[in-house]
Chain A
Amino acid sequence: MSSTKTPRVEEPNVVEGDSQWLLWEVFVQAENGSAHEHAGSVRAPDRELALQNARDVFARRGPVRSIWIVPAEAITASSSADAASFFDPGDDKVYRHPQFYKVPKGMQ
């Protein structure tokens, strides 16, 4: 039996006074070679149980090849206040989109 010693890796910081387990974001890969896509999040006290919880919550129905779990605190997100300056400039410039090429028939 695979009796791997429980990895005692350094775990993300526990927030003092927060009785909740740590939050982990879950990324699921449906088939070999495809991207890991965000599926949701789980609570767990450490990596191993985060992986198991992610498996139980997100991988029991439907094809799954692999799961990533990432401590939520490791993700840096853009703020909604930045949305206008970050994303709007792309909207009104059609030449930013590579859609002016004729794609040869055999490529489609």
Chain B
Amino acid sequence: MKTPPPLQKDVQDACFEYLLRLGDDLLVLGHRLSEWCGHAGILEEDIALANLALDCLGQANNFLTLAGQIEGKGRTADDLAYFRDETEFRNCALVEQLNGDFATTIARHFLFCTASFYLYEKLQESSFKPLAAIAKKSLKEIIYHHRHSREWIIRLGDGTPESHLRAQQALNELWMFTAELHQTDALEAKLVQEGIAADRATLLGKWQQTVSQVLNEATLTIPPDGYMYSGARIGRHTEYLGHILSEMQIVARSHPNARW
């Protein structure tokens, strides 16, 4: 990747943080999905989930590599992935939630990648060209992720009484983590002003419309907004992130600078 054009210092700092948010979402989600490898109910879906995981990892690599370049301290994507602690991670809480049963994994993925679709669609127009390029490339993958998870949620919801029950339970449990997908703050507002970031708040309507349309076809009910979790973007994570990181980081931390 070419070295990105220089930015003003404060914009640069905000941009680094923003790229961590984008990259960490995909890194953590990708790792979660990879936990299915060898465990899915049927071989074809095992391969499908591994493919989704690899797409997420590839996107995370692109975002974190760019983050390291913007930061300008010589940190690589690997440095950012393996040598930051839990409170330094900027992913939303939804992606760190446990895989649970297949319905939970599919519901989590559907809720997340529907948001990613609209986010990337907008980020393609970012004034920061390297970010626009990653968004454009990632969008192609996310369209498939959306298709796969949408078709599954419809089949689970509109399937057997058992699959319907599990899909509805999954949505009920995950719903409190969906608010973060469209929350924004002063940092993102600044980047929106610069034309770099997409204003997540303006994407909420489209997300709601697509989610309700698909869940309606799936004969599932949109859970009511109750207590909605927030704070993961500033490092206040649920109990599950620490466990993923310990597993993901142990080899790199035990053998720093190892090459293979």
Contact between chains at B217 and A56 (CB < 8 Å): no
Which A residues between 50 and 98 are near B, CB-CB below 8 angstroms?
Answer: 52-53, 55-57, 60
Contact between chains at B48 and A6 (CB < 8 Å): no
Contact between chains at A45 and B155 (CB < 8 Å): yes
Q: A43-B44, A57-B47 are in contact. Are A52 and B151 (CB under 8 A)?
A: yes
> Which of B48, B117, B155 contacts A56, CB < 8 Å?
B48
| Size category, A interface | 10 to 19
How far is B155's CA from A52's CA once the two chains are assembled, in angstroms?
14
Chain B residues lying within 8 Å of A21, measured Cβ to Cβ, are: 42
Residue of B nearest to A46 (CB): B155
Chain B residue total in the interface (Cβ 8 A): 23
Q: Chain B CB within 10 Å — which of A2, A42, A43, A53 has the most?
A: A53
Chain A residues lying within 8 Å of B118, measured Cβ to Cβ, are: 1
Chain B residues lying within 8 Å of A30, measured Cβ to Cβ, are: none
Chain B residues lying within 8 Å of A3, measured Cβ to Cβ, are: 150, 210, 213-214
Chain B residues lying within 8 Å of A53, measured Cβ to Cβ, are: 44-45, 47-48
Chain B residues lying within 8 Å of A56, measured Cβ to Cβ, are: 44, 47-48, 51
Which A residues between 23 and 52 are near B, CB-CB below 8 angstroms?
Answer: 42-46, 48-49, 52
Chain A residues lying within 8 Å of B42, measured Cβ to Cβ, are: 21, 43
Chain B residues lying within 8 Å of A6, measured Cβ to Cβ, are: 151, 154, 217
Q: CB of A5 within 8 A of chain B?
A: yes
13 contacts between A and B (CB under 8 A): A1-B146, A1-B210, A3-B213, A3-B214, A6-B151, A48-B151, A49-B151, A49-B155, A52-B48, A52-B148, A52-B151, A56-B47, A57-B47
How far is B42's CA from A1's CA once the two chains are assembled, in angstroms?
29
- Chain B nearest CB from A85 CB (Å) reads 38
> Which of B44, B143, B144, B155 contacts A42, CB < 8 Å?
B44
Chain B residues lying within 8 Å of A46, measured Cβ to Cβ, are: 155
Query: Residue-by-residue, is B151-169 near A (CB-CB < 8 Å gives 1, otherwise 0)?
Result: 1101100000000000000
Chain B residues lying within 8 Å of A49, measured Cβ to Cβ, are: 151-152, 155
How far is B48's CA from A71's CA once the two chains are assembled, in angstroms?
20
